[in-house]
Amino acid sequence: MDTLEAGKENGDTFSQQSMTEAEEKEYRAFMRGLKRRNPHETEFHQAVAEFAGAVMPWYLQHEEYHRAQILERITEPDRIISFRVTWETDSGEIRANRAWRVQFNHALGPYKGGLRFHPSVNQSILKFLGFEQIFKNSLTGLPMGGAKGGSNFNPKDKSDREVMRFCHSMMIELSRHIGEDIDVPAGDIGVGGREVSYLFGQYMRLENRWSGVLTGKGLSFGGSAVRTEATGWGCVYFCEEMLRYHNESIEGKRVAVSGSGNVALYAAQKLIEKGAKVVTLSDSGGFLHFPEGLPPEHWTDLRELKEHQRGRLSDYRGGGTYHADANPWGVPCEIAMPCATQNELGPEDAKRLIENGVLAVCEGANMPVTHEAAELFRARDVLHAPGKASNAGGVAVSGLEQSQNAMRLSWDREEVDRRLQKIMSDIHARCVADGSGGGSRVDYIKGSNLGGFRKVAEAMRAYGAV
Ligand code: NDP
Ligand code: 2IT
């Protein structure tokens, strides 16, 4: 069979996979249509390009899905709710922000996915996140559809009372569109326990009943054990599986972690526990470097600084060297774990990591690696786990929180952690099953996309023309 290495066209990103000429033709036509229908949504184009590149050969071999137009339908959200949130500052000024809920696909269960509060939030970013969530949630094996929401509200420079007023106002509109069997939001960047609590309190007041309508709740009001730790811990469990499968181990490895929020902090905690050396943590101002590895007592101080005081890494005086306006990817390491945000690791970063001998990249964030950087990792056989597989632990424990709420009981930490480990190990096995072939290394991008897609495609086909 004649194979073509898919390349770029007019600076656009195209497939990461090898395709036949016919497959590539279909792929390019599909992406052209998608871009025409969704102009200017570059993050959404990027997420679909990776996905469609990974599944196109399989899709074209399955006429029943092709005939049912599954690819065209799955890339069109069920609905997007867009609304204004008006709120009042502490000094009595009126402010208005934009907010959205993208309900992408509920073939497998009620819509599920986080809310992001960050000034950069726009429809394209929420569509890319909602789209990825479909396949991530499918991979967990739990009955959850895909959604995402959020606002361009910036909680960082606001008081607690301002955040409360914003959340309460946002929930007035959001409450019309969510429910424990309809759509169950949770946290993401800028939305943690504080925000989820304000949102949940307002929902209860509006509906006058208790329900598991949000996850990531406080432990005393229906939250699950280990939800706070789940994404970071799950990412490390996945990384361990990936290394073990390729005859490596995590112990003693230097790991460059980016971010210092929920995902990064608990990834670092589990890495330390597993005997790895966490050589960096970062925030949007710069990174902290610990050449000998972050000591556990400094981890506790840093968690206090970031989680409770909402401080900056530049203020940390406990150790490590601070590098302003720089990211961690120039620091020598065997494992890179990007846990901050999308497109935070580009081609120049990938080259530096490869020069320094990186073995594996395991994504804690959603789509942190650009297409060009991913191509470089692929060319050099660097193991690369995409977020939809490796960061699925967060939403998986959210799913377990929904189950516990529905059963009106709560499992202890050991029980939830055991289930989390099993889910991450099953996701790894799914990636191996759908991503092997062609080389000695598993193609995790193909494995996770195809593994997540097959179930959703089968459900959509079975439902007929809905
Ligand atoms: P947090 O808000 O807790 O932390 C975000 C971290 O990333 C902070 O250190 C922040 O630095 C940094 N960051 C955010 N935006 C940027 C930016 N534009 N440039 C540089 N640094 C930035 O969020 P989470 O830890 O929850 O989320 C991190 C990533 O993980 C996101 O991609 C999210 O979608 C993903 N994710 C989260 C899950 C969860 O359960 N929370 C589950 C699965 C994935 P600063 O404080 O300076 O802004
Ligand atoms: O990106 C993600 O998977 C999350 N932010 C978690 C979503 C959830 O519903 O727990």
The per-residue pLDDT for range 297-326, each reduced to its tens digit, is 999 999 999 999 999 999 999 899 999 999
- Candidate from 101, 395, 423, 424 with most ligand 2 atoms within 8 A of CB, to mutate: 395
Residues ≥6 apart with Cβ < 8 Å to 306: 260, 261, 265, 283, 313
**Does 394 contact ligand 2 (Cβ within 6 A)?**
yes
Q: Return the ligand number nearest the Cα of 140.
A: 2
Residue 116 has pLDDT above 90, yes or no: yes
**Does 112 contact ligand 2 (Cβ within 6 A)?**
yes
Question: Where does residue 259 fall: left (phi above 0), alpha (psi -120 to 50 degrees), or beta otherwise?
Answer: left
Q: How far apart are CA 196 and CA 221, in angstroms?
A: 11
pLDDT for the residue 12: 42
Residue-wise pLDDT tens digits, 171-212: 999 999 999 999 999 999 999 999 999 999 999 999 999 999
Active-site residue (options: 127, 136, 148, 253): 148
pLDDT for the residue 183: 99
Report the separation in Å between the CA atom of 191 and the middle of ligand 1, taken as the mean of its atom positions. 10
Residue 234 has pLDDT above 60, yes or no: yes
Residue-wise pLDDT tens digits, 259-271: 999 999 999 999 9
Residue 6 has pLDDT above 60, yes or no: no
CA angle (170, 37, 139) in 5-degree steps: 65
pLDDT for the residue 33: 98
158 tagged catalytic: no
Report the separation in Å between the CA atom of 427 and the middle of ligand 1, taken as the mean of its atom positions. 23
Report the separation in Å between the CA atom of 57 and the middle of ligand 2, taken as the mean of its atom positions. 29
pLDDT for the residue 427: 98
pLDDT band at 239 (very low <50, low <70, confident <90, very high): very high
Residue-range domains of the chain with CATH: 3-74 (no CATH), 79-212 (3.40.50.10860), 230-381 (3.40.50.720)
Residue-wise pLDDT tens digits, 141-152: 999 999 999 999
Which residue is closest in CA terms to ligand 1's atom 35? 365
Q: How far apart are CA 267 and CA 233, in angstroms?
A: 5
Q: Report percent pLDDT > 70 for the chain.
A: 96
Residue 9 has pLDDT above 50, yes or no: no
Burial classification of residue 395, based on how many CB atoms lie within 10 Å of its CB (0-12 exposed, 13-18 middle, 19 or more buried) = buried
Report the separation in Å between the CA atom of 261 and the middle of ligand 1, taken as the mean of its atom positions. 6
Give the position, in ligand 2's atom list, of the atom nearest the Cα of 395. Answer: 10
pLDDT for the residue 17: 58
Q: How far apart are CA 321 and CA 338, in angstroms?
A: 19
pLDDT band at 440 (very low <50, low <70, confident <90, very high): confident
pLDDT for the residue 438: 66
pLDDT for the residue 13: 45
**Does 443 contact ligand 1 (Cβ within 6 A)?**
no
pLDDT for the residue 437: 77
Report the separation in Å between the CA atom of 143 and the middle of ligand 1, taken as the mean of its atom positions. 25
Residue-wise pLDDT tens digits, 284-298: 999 999 999 999 999
Radius of gyration for the alpha carbons in the chain, expressed in angstroms and rounded: 21
Residue 3 has pLDDT above 80, yes or no: no
Q: Return the ligand number nearest the Cα of 230.
A: 1
Residue-wise pLDDT tens digits, 333-386: 999 999 999 999 999 999 999 999 999 999 999 999 999 999 999 999 999 999
Residue 11 has pLDDT above 50, yes or no: no
Which among 455, 427, 454, 286 has a CA at the least distance from the CA of 363? 427
Q: How far apart are CA 435 and CA 444, in angstroms?
A: 6
